[in-house]
Amino acid sequence: MDSSQPSSAHKSVSLFDLFTGFLLVGLQGFGGISNSSHYIIVEKRRWLTPREFVELFGVCSILPGGNFLNGSIMIGARYQGPIGSIVSISSLLLMPVVILVGIAVSYEHFSYLPDVRAATAGAASAAAGLIVATATKLMRGVIWSVVPVLMAAGTFVLIGTLRAPLWMVVVIFVPLSIGLTLLGRKRS
């Protein structure tokens, strides 16, 4: 399978296929579902070619909401219309929510044990580090110049230091960043 494959539009994918496919994406998605969704959707089921996958999630990444949640809506719509969207996103969320509640209930049940509380505290500190690592990994995908540095730093200070509400970022830094990027393109 490679990107020379022109399109997957001829494929027929049933509601049951969507259900089992997205159930697996959810179940295998440790640390977010970006890896498992590529694995199931492109490599195993071949619902999208690698190129289609990149294009679809490119559009999703600028929409509000989880990128892959939006992706499941679009893939469901592509093969089975609105019902396909509902089946896809529900099956994607089903197992993760059940497992998460299971973990939360067992934690509450055993949290009287000091070792469990110590382990959870350690895990929470590590989880904070994981989120920082997500940010540093994303940094590699950006060509850094004055404008991106200012936009990233400004957003960080506004939210991380000043604890401003999220809508301020959407109102101030998103249009500013788009405007300055457009300006930069026009000059070059």
**Residue 9 interacts with another protein (CB under 8 A)?**
no
Task: Specify the stretch interacting with another protein by CB under 8 A; choose among 1-9, 11-19, 41-49, 126-134.
Answer: 126-134
20 binds another protein (CB under 8 A): no
Per-residue string for binding with another protein, 88-117, x by CB under 8 A?
A: -x--xx-xxx-xxx-xx--x------xx-x
**Residue 15 within binding range of another protein, rule CB under 8 A:** no
C-alpha–C-alpha distance, residues 108 and 104, integer Å:
6
CA distance linking residue 81 with residue 73, whole number of Å: 9
Sign of CA dihedral 69, 74, 75, 81: positive
113 secondary structure, DSSP code? S
Told to check if 2 binds another protein by CB under 8 A, we report no
Looking at beta carbons only, is 17 or 148 nearer to another protein?
148
Tell me if 132 contacts another protein by CB under 8 A.
yes
Of residues 158 through 177, those in contact with another protein by CB under 8 A are 159-160, 163, 165-167, 169-170, 173-174, 177
49 binds another protein (CB under 8 A): no
Half-sphere exposure for 98 (CA within 13 Å, toward CB):
9
86: buried, middle or exposed (CB in 10 Å: 19+, 13-18, 0-12)? middle
